[in-house]
Amino acid sequence: MSAIKHHIPDGMLAAYAAGTLPHAFSVVVATHVSMCAECRSALHAHQSVGGVILDDTPGISVSGHLRGQTMALLDEPFRPAPTYERRGIYPAPVIAALGGKEPEWKRLGMGVRQKILSADDSGIVRLLHIPPGQAVPDHSHNGLELTLVLQGSFHDELGSFGVGDVEIGDEDIEHTPTADTEMPCICLAATDAPLRFRALMPRLLQPLFRI
Amino acid sequence: ETKTAQMTPETIWMLAVRDQRDKQAFSHLFDHFAPRLKGFVMRGGTSAGQAEEIVQDVMLTVWRKAALFDPERAQVSAWIYQITRNRQIDVARKENRPIPEELRDASECEEDASQIVGVEQEAAQLREALNNLTTDQRAVIEQAYLGELSHSEISKSTGLPLGTIKSRIRLGLNRLRQELKGLR
Ligand SMILES: [Zn+2]
Ligand SMILES: [Zn+2]
């Protein structure tokens, strides 16, 4: 496996640690960190800063019963939240977003398939399955787009991206990501605003597919 | 043993909670962290009552998920910081936020005391670096990690010494590389 060349920017990792990154992007960050030692180490660094700030925060005394109540709860049985494990090419955060199920792909045209993992006001995160050699229609962005490769590779105007690499698209770039020819490219992609396609057809289809 | 003697009390308590399920050690952790956590959570505008609920949730998570505490990666307060922010987000969103894959159960591995002390020393250096910032810089850093800045605001905040911070914590990197190689 080739080394990861394109990482999560540091400000985004800090925002992820602090919990201010929108949900859709957090799924991508958690997935990349599951694959990348550099970014995991950087995330630990941000957690360490958070820890120092927590430790230096002037304390406010807690009410008298809180300690006893908490101690009494230590032996209470509790049901842990379900945890998910990596399956094949999908790291645990993707499996968690799938609720532990296999992705049910929906056709987008030109052989491209998608599975929306979550969609809300703050953004959409989806899996994309692009056949070998196929291009995703030429588009620009109203906001930010993160694309993380889980299988295969693609290239576009910004460079080439293999497993673990993250491409960051914003208002200033327009690109035509094209899957390389050796196998289908599967990506985890998050956007905080609808993409803008150049061709008329995809624009008409946009509301239908929530691209 | 000499290295163990150099560990901070918080680490020693946390390891006793993790490895021996030591309730007295837990009560020491509670006394150290609960007031700080309450102050930390209330800085974000949370009421005292709700802050105490979060403090209790966080401290119970510290007890229940103690097996995941890995002192070779980050100091106790870093682990508790992340649990706290996760909890605050989950409360706000009413669902679990995405978190990275756990690499393994920390308590099942042989640990290297000098590595643990090394991580603590890095945290101490980090504290010193933060204390040497100007008041303005420190304020921006605190806002960022308290969850008061968006990612674009963090990226735009010039003078935020994120690169310095990142380059300070390098100790665990080689081992992480090994573990992740095994997974991929
Ligand atoms: Zn990375
Ligand atoms: Zn794009």
The reported pLDDT for the residue numbered A41 is 87
Does a structural domain hold residue A114?
yes
Structure tokens at A181: 């020819």
Close Cβ partners of B55 (under 8 Å, ≥ 6 residues apart): A62, A66, B34, B37, B38, B41
B59 touches chain A (CB under 8 A): yes
**Tens digits of residue pLDDT in B89-107:** 888 776 778 999 987 666 6
The residues in B 26-55 lying below 8 A from A, measured between CB atoms, are 26-27, 30-31, 33-40, 42-43, 48, 52, 55
> Domain B2-183 belongs to what architecture?
Orthogonal Bundle (1.10)
For residue A116, the enclosing domain spans 101-209
Strand order in the sheet with A166-169: A106-109, A112-120, A123-130, A185-191, A145-151, A166-169
- Min distance B1 CA to chain A CA atoms (Å): 25
CA angle A48, B119, B130 (to 5 degrees): 45
Q: What ipTM goes with this model?
A: 0.89
| Within a domain: A173 | yes
Contact A4, A165 (CB under 8 A): yes
Distance CA A144, CA A128 (A): 17
- CA Rg value for chain B: 17
Q: Cα(B109)–Cα(B3) distance, rounded to whole angstroms?
A: 18
Residue A40 domain-assigned? no
- A43-76: pLDDT as tens digits: 988 899 899 999 999 999 999 999 999 999 999 9
The Å distance, Cα A111 to ligand 2 centre, comes to 18
Tally the domains of chain A: 1
- B76 CA to centre of ligand 1 in angstroms: 24
Q: What is the DSSP letter of B96?
A: P
Of A19, A43, A164, the CB nearest to B88: A19
> Nearest C-alpha of chain B: how many angstroms from A75?
10
CATH number at residue A154: 2.60.120.10
Question: What residue spans define the domains of chain B?
Answer: 2-183
Confidence of residue B28 (pLDDT cuts 50, 70, 90): very high
Nearest-angstrom CA–CA distance, B183 and A39: 16
**Using the beta-carbon criterion (under 8 Å), do A50 and B78 form an inter-chain contact?**
yes
CA proximity to B154, closest of B165, B58, B104: B165
Write out pLDDT tens, residues B106-125.
666 778 888 889 888 888 88
The reported pTM is: 0.90
- Following DSSP, what letter does each residue of B8-31 receive, concatenated? -HHHHHHHHHHHH--HHHHHHHHH
